[in-house]
Amino acid sequence: MLKKLTATALAASMITLVPVGQAAAKPKAPAGVTASSAILFDATTGKVLWKRAPNKRMPVGSMNKVALAMVVLKRGDLSRKITIRQKYKDWVDGWGASNSHLVPGDVLTARQLLEAMLIESGSDAAYALAESYGGTGGFLGAQDKMNALAKKLGMTRTHYASFDGQPAKGDLTTAADQLKLARHAMKNKTFAKIVKTVRKDITSLKGRKYPLRTHNLLLKNSGRNDDNSGYPGLYGIKTGSTASAGSCFMFVARRKKHTVYGVVLKSSTALGRFQDAAKMLNWTYGTKTAVTLTPAPPRTAP
């Protein structure tokens, strides 16, 4: 979840990423990556290309929403009508969490809430989905299902104690486990379509419009005034950020006939996670791609 930026801080954060230079021989590792933990995987060859403390257990913020999305998509029924409750708004207000600004009393479909959760990273949408798809256990039931999914995928060092990534005791995972989750999630066509969406307006069943905008600044036309160049070939998937998790990012790209997945946990800054990803991809593909990163201003309630 991106922190709110003042106009001054926003202007100061408009940067252009300097690409990794190419030496005569390829370096043994991508240079300048700030993440405390990271992994890079070539899905075309099935090989781990590079890693840094990939089994270190850490929180990952809103990247938890990927597991919740898979719980929802497994159950299906995306036309399900879900009423927005006051406690969903109180949740995001209380945590200062990423917010889709859903209005209590409004009614949206599960698919619309998936879009709000994965594009805008709305924790209000996540709460609505977790409670609706958690069965009699509510959001705790959803967390149980997230943990069952982690077990099925062999995510042996992962435990979900938060449906949306807000700080919770024991809510921990690893870069290596998140790689397994990312690869699993991108096999779902609905999920893959949503996480490459830069912006979309959804209209509730009561006629209220909600504008959604991605937090993934490596997607083309993201950011302020749609001016981000994007990283060529990158098509997902999810950011995460809290005070304890730091700035995290899981991503996937395809260039030169190779599909590559990566995860960075606790990068230096909110923009640093995207810089880390671009450096890792430049190193992988042997390119000198320069990427412009300009955060969008925080969106306020309509």
Query: What pLDDT is recorded for position 227?
Result: 82
51 vs 299, higher pLDDT? 51
- What DSSP line would sit under 191-254, residue for residue? HHHHHT--EEEEE-TTS-EEEEE-S-TTSTT-SGGG-----TTEEEEEEEEETTTEEEEEEEEE
Query: What pLDDT is recorded for position 26?
Result: 80
Nearest CA-CA partner of 139 in 96, 79, 181, 87: 87
For the chain, what is the mean pLDDT?
90
215 vs 225, higher pLDDT? 215
Number of domains in the chain: 1
Q: Which two tokens stand for residue 32?
A: 């300048």
Nearest CA-CA partner of 176 in 34, 69, 58: 58
Q: What is the pLDDT of residues 94-108, one digit of tens each?
A: 998 999 999 999 999
Instruction: Judge whether 298 lies within some domain.
Output: no
- Is the predicted pLDDT of residue 15 greater than 50, yes or no? no
- Is the predicted pLDDT of residue 5 greater than 70, yes or no? no
Query: What pLDDT is recorded for position 297?
Result: 77
Q: What is the pLDDT of residues 40-75, one digit of tens each?
A: 999 999 999 999 999 999 999 999 999 999 999 999
Q: Which two tokens stand for residue 203?
A: 């209209």
Does 37 qualify as catalytic in the annotation? no
pLDDT band at 299 (very low <50, low <70, confident <90, very high): confident
Instruction: Judge whether 229 lies within some domain.
Output: yes
pLDDT band at 145 (very low <50, low <70, confident <90, very high): very high
Instruction: Judge whether 9 lies within some domain.
Output: no
Query: What pLDDT is recorded for position 11?
Result: 38
pTM of the predicted protein model: 0.90
Amino acid code (one letter) for 251: F
Instruction: Give me the CATH number covering residue 214.
Output: 3.40.710.10
Query: What pLDDT is recorded for position 24?
Result: 53
Query: What pLDDT is recorded for position 8?
Result: 37
Instruction: Judge whether 3 lies within some domain.
Output: no
DSSP state of 58: B
d(CA 54, CA 62): 19
From the candidates 121, 132, 222, 267, which is the catalytic residue?
121
Instruction: Judge whether 112 lies within some domain.
Output: yes
Q: What is the pLDDT of residues 158-178, one digit of tens each?
A: 999 999 999 999 999 999 999
Does 267 qualify as catalytic in the annotation? no
Instruction: Judge whether 144 lies within some domain.
Output: yes
256 vs 126, higher pLDDT? 126
From the candidates 62, 98, 100, 123, which is the catalytic residue?
62
d(CA 157, CA 57): 7
Query: What pLDDT is recorded for position 302?
Result: 66
Nearest CA-CA partner of 64 in 245, 217, 282, 287: 245
From the candidates 65, 145, 196, 266, which is the catalytic residue?
65
Instruction: Judge whether 267 lies within some domain.
Output: yes
Residues 15-36, mean pLDDT to the nearest whole number: 69
**3-state DSSP assignment of residue 70:** helix
* Structural domain containing residue 51: 15-293
The secondary structure of the chain in percent helix, strand, coil, rounded to multiples of 5, reads 35, 20, 45
pLDDT band at 27 (very low <50, low <70, confident <90, very high): confident
Query: What pLDDT is recorded for position 18?
Result: 42
Query: What pLDDT is recorded for position 22?
Result: 44
Query: What pLDDT is recorded for position 44?
Result: 93
- 10-24, 116-130, 213-227, 250-264: which has the minimum mean pLDDT? 10-24
- Is the predicted pLDDT of residue 19 greater than 50, yes or no? no
Does 121 qualify as catalytic in the annotation? yes
Instruction: Judge whether 7 lies within some domain.
Output: no
- Is the predicted pLDDT of residue 237 greater than 60, yes or no? yes
